[in-house]
């Protein structure tokens, strides 16, 4: 696990720069939660190397979902708000959630805290490859969600934008594009004819590459 996380971090640090070459990111259709639910977005932390990145991505995905009319909150903000109410969340609960899982006791506690849907966000791909037109950057994001009162039924969403490199912003733009596409899939928005520039999709996204 650590080797994989280190490789992803190394790629992110060493490379950068791109312009959108294909405005139609590849993703799978998802059956997402209905309106009126509170989504908890949790970044899956494979190891310490990617913890900051996935927490940032989870926060920005929650922001993007809220911007699209869904009630959503990321785990970090949720824990902060719980602390302000005097609720101490055991470290084992946080560890299980950030590990990508939740047992019956955790789900019952989340329901008591008015969380109805949990979404696990994971970085599946982070790579650069050479093609006919030069180097291309791909960042693949996956979301796995479940409505807590519907048993083990889950939905999945996946995005992998493919972009051409330009100096300075490779993984930043690829990640922003993937996040924007993922949010659209989750809420069921139609795919746009052309993507806006990533800076207009997620203006608050600032990843520490």
- DSSP for 40-106 reads EEEE--SSGGGHHHHHHHHHHHHHHHHHTT-EEEEHHHHHHHHHHTTPPPPHHHHHHHHTT---HHH
Does residue 204 lie in a domain region?
Answer: no
User: In CATH, what number is assigned to the domain containing residue 29?
Assistant: 3.40.50
- Per-residue pLDDT at 49: 82
Least confident of 14-23, 88-97, 146-155: 14-23
Residue 31 counted as domain residue = yes
- Is 84 inside a domain boundary? yes
Closest to 61 in 3D by CA, of 50, 76, 81, 49: 76
Would 195 be classed as within a structural domain?
A: no
pLDDT band for 47, please (50, 70, 90 cuts).
confident
Length of the chain: 209
Cα 35 from Cα 103, distance rounded (Å)? 25
CA angle 93/114/156 to nearest 5° reads 70
Q: How confident is the model at residue 196 (pLDDT cuts 50, 70, 90)?
A: very low
Is the pLDDT reported for residue 19 higher than 60? no
What predicted TM-score, i.e. pTM, was given to this entire model? 0.70
- 21 in a domain, yes or no? yes
- Whether 170 is covered by a domain: the verdict is yes
User: 180 lies in which domain range?
Assistant: 2-190
**Through-space distance between the first and last CA atoms of the chain, rounded to whole angstroms:** 19
Q: Token pair of 197, please?
A: 């520039």
Q: 150: which DSSP letter?
A: S
How many CB atoms sit inside 10 A of residue 19's CB?
A: 12
How many domains does the chain contain in total? 1
> Alpha-carbon distance 194 to 135, whole Å?
22
38 compared with 130, residue with greater pLDDT: 38
Per-residue burial over 104-133, b if 16 or more Cβ lie within 10 Å, else e, is eebeeebeeeebbbbbbbbbeebebeeeee
């Amino acid at each position: 696990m650590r080797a994989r996380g280190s490789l992803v971090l190394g790629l992110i640090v060493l490379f950068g720069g791109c312009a959108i070459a294909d405005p139609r990111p590849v993703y799978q259709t998802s059956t997402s939660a209905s309106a009126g639910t509170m989504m908890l977005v949790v970044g899956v932390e494979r190891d310490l190397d990617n913890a900051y990145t996935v927490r940032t991505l989870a926060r920005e995905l929650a922001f993007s979902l809220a911007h699209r009319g869904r009630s959503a909150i990321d785990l970090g903000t949720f824990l902060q708000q719980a602390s302000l109410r005097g609720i101490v969340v055991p470290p084992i609960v946080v560890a299980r959630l950030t590990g990508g899982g939740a047992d019956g006791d955790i789900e019952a506690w989340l329901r008591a805290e008015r969380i109805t849907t949990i979404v696990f966000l994971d970085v599946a791909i982070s790579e650069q490859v050479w093609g006919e037109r030069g180097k291309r950057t791909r960042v693949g994001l996956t979301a796995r969600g479940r409505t807590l009162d519907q048993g083990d039924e889950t939905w999945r969403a996946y995005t992998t934008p493919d972009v051409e490199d330009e100096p300075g912003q490779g993984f930043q733009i690829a990640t922003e594009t993937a996040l924007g596409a993922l949010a659209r899939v989750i809420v069921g928005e139609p795919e746009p004819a052309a993507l806006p520039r990533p800076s207009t999709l997620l203006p608050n996204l600032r990843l520490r590459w």
